[in-house]
């Protein structure tokens, strides 16, 4: 991904202003955690290298922009690519967006419904983020749910964090449930999230480097034997204090982890 610049962040900030969101974007628990072999939409979305990362960025952009039922919006692939700082938005970037949209609307995901009437602008409708293919009404979402700070968008974090770090952040928001004391995940819980051990390790390291996460080693008793586990604590106030390009290391995170 190209180095993040002020113009890229400004485009995303403009998209946030147009959405009139001021605080957060909510997702159902089923987006990040689910039982079953296939795994939740978030984990399945991330499979496939750069394609998985593109799908997540495109989806989070649309989810933020579509604010009220029936959660429909119109945006060209070129405009979406520009908002997401994809290279060559009118060509390469637009193809990446269109490929992501096609997959998200496919029977494999059922997260979007796309209508392209002849001679008219394409309309994108965001469906239930749990992958059920059902219509979505954000106003009827009942707790508990996942709350993502709007700073992910209007401060530019969405553009610079790697896809796996974004996915891990969403998972940890579900895991901790907003608890300042943090939380830990056993093997069963981790399988429900569907992310690999490598993703947990690498994404956790990235979030720590950004100051967004602390990981403490805690001793507990299991069948009379002392064992160690990781306790995850999110530090999301950092999201509002500064943008990612102001981190101590000036190299973009997405480049460091490519």
Q: What is the pLDDT of residue 7?
A: 84
What's the pLDDT band for 108 if we cut at 50, 70, 90?
very high
State the Cα–Cα distance between residues 31 and 34, nearest whole angstrom. Answer: 8
Six token digits for residue 88 = 């060559």
115 - beta bridge partners? 123
> How would CATH label the architecture of 159-256?
Orthogonal Bundle (1.10)
- Residue found by looking up tokens 């940890």 in the block: 172
- Percent of the chain residues topping a pLDDT of 70: 90
Q: Which sequence spans correspond to the domains of the chain?
A: 6-145, 159-256
What 8-state DSSP symbol labels residue 12? H
Nearest to 42 by CA among 2, 53, 158: 53
Residue predicted with more confidence, 242 or 61: 61
Asked whether the predicted pLDDT for residue 185 surpasses 80, the reply is: yes
Asked whether residue 19 carries a pLDDT value surpassing 70, the answer given is: yes
- As a whole number, the mean pLDDT across the chain is 89
pLDDT band for position 166 (50/70/90)? very high
pTM across the whole model: 0.90
């Amino acid at each position: 991904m190209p180095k993040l610049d002020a113009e890229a962040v400004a485009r995303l900030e403009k998209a946030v202003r147009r959405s009139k969101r001021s605080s957060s974007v909510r997702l159902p628990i089923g987006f990040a955690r689910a039982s079953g072999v296939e795994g939740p939409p978030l984990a399945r979305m991330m499979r496939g290298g750069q394609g998985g990362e593109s799908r997540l960025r495109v989806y989070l952009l649309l989810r933020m922009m579509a604010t009220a039922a029936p959660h429909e919006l119109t945006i060209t692939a070129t405009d979406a690519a520009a908002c997401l700082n994809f290279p060559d938005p009118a060509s390469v970037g637009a193809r990446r967006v269109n490929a992501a949209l096609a997959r998200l609307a496919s029977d494999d995901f059922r997260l979007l419904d796309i209508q392209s009437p002849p001679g008219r602008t394409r309309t994108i409708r965001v469906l239930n983020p749990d992958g059920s293919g059902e219509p979505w009404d954000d106003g009827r979402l009942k707790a508990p749910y996942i709350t993502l700070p709007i700073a992910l968008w209007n401060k530019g974090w969405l553009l610079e964090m790697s896809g796996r770090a974004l996915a891990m952040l969403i998972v940890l928001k579900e895991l901790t449930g907003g608890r300042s004391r943090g939380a830990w995940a056993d093997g069963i819980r981790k399988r429900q999230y569907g992310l690999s051990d490598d993703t947990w390790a690498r994404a956790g390291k990235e979030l720590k480097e950004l100051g967004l996460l602390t990981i403490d080693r805690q001793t507990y008793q299991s069948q009379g034997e002392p064992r160690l586990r990781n306790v995850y604590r999110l530090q999301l106030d950092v999201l509002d204090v500064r943008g990612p390009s102001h981190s101590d290391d000036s190299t973009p995170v997405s480049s460091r982890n490519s």
